[in-house]
Amino acid sequence: MQMIKGNRTSSSTTKIAILGGGNAGRGLAGYMALHGLDVALYNRTLENVRGIIDRGGLDVHGVIEGYAQIPLVTNNMARAIRNREILIVTVPAQAHEFFAHKMAPYLDDGQLVLLMPGRTGGALEFAHIIESNPNTQNILLGEAQTFSFVSRMTGISSVKVSKIKNLVRVSAFPASASQEFLKRLKGLPLTLELANDVMETGLNNVGAMLHPTPTILCAGLLESRRGGYNHYHDAISESVGRLIERMDAERVNVASQFSPYPMTLLEWLEDTYDAEGNSLRECIQSIDAYDGVGSPGSLQHRYVLEDIPTGLVPISNLGDLCGVETPAIDAVIEMACQLYECDFRRTGRSLASMGLVGMNPQEVAEYVELGVRPAEWSSFPSIYDLYEVEVDET
| Average of per-residue pLDDT across 76-103 | 96
| Average of per-residue pLDDT across 267-272 | 91
Pick the CATH number of 3-203 from 3.30.43.10, 3.40.50.300, 3.40.50.720, 3.40.1160.10: 3.40.50.720
Per domain, the residue ranges of the chain are 3-203, 207-347, 361-393
Q: Summarize pLDDT for 220-254 with one digit per residue, the tens.
A: 999 998 888 999 999 999 999 999 999 999 999 99
Residue 226 pLDDT = 87
Residues 184, 86: contact at Cβ < 8 Å?
yes
Cα separations (Å) of 142 from 43, 128, 185?
21, 13, 11
Residue (of 89, 88, 116) closest to 16 by Cα position: 88
Q: Summarize pLDDT for 122-141 with one digit per residue, the tens.
A: 999 999 999 888 777 789 99
Alpha helices in 114-264 (DSSP H): 122-130, 178-185, 198-203, 207-210, 212-217, 219-225, 238-255
User: CATH top-level class for 207-347?
Assistant: mainly alpha
Chain-wide mean pLDDT for the chain? 90
Q: Summarize pLDDT for 336-383 with one digit per residue, the tens.
A: 999 999 999 999 999 999 999 999 999 999 999 999 988 765 543 444
Residue 58's pLDDT band, with cuts at 50, 70 and 90, is: very high
Q: Same topology for domains 3-203 and 207-347, yes or no?
A: no
Q: Which of 10-19, 62-71, 150-159 has the lowest mean pLDDT?
A: 10-19
Residue 134 pLDDT = 77
